[in-house]
Amino acid sequence: MNWQTVREKYPHRWIVIEVLDAFTNGKTRFIEAMEVVEAFGSDWKPAWECYKRLHHLDKNREYYMLHTKRTVLEVRVIDAFRRKVSQ
């Protein structure tokens, strides 16, 4: 799925996605294809718990917790020390 399809299917909701196809350009991660793992309502806390559980099970898979109010999906790259990458 692409981001616009996700937004249409899950409007005004918190979601956890798994990235299927993405690339990094400079300090931004561009996600081109994703799968919605789980959708939640307006409370972000259950989505955060889901994300943490999935990340703990397999750190090699790329998951994100997002809200579908975003019109454009761009994710800032963070280095191993949890600092935003600057260019």
Query: At residue 86, does pLDDT exceed 70?
Result: no
Query: At residue 82, does pLDDT exceed 70?
Result: no
Query: Mean pLDDT over residues 48-71, rounded?
Result: 96
Using 50, 70 and 90 to split pLDDT, how confident is the model at 26?
confident
Chain mean pLDDT for the chain: 91
What are the strands, taking DSSP E only, across 1-87? 14-25, 28-39, 63-67, 74-76
**Residue 38 phi, psi dihedral angles, 5° rounding:** -160, 145
pLDDT at 84: 53
Measured CA distances, 53 to 1, 16, 44, 46, 86 (Å): 23, 11, 14, 11, 29
Query: Mean pLDDT over residues 11-38, rounded?
Result: 95
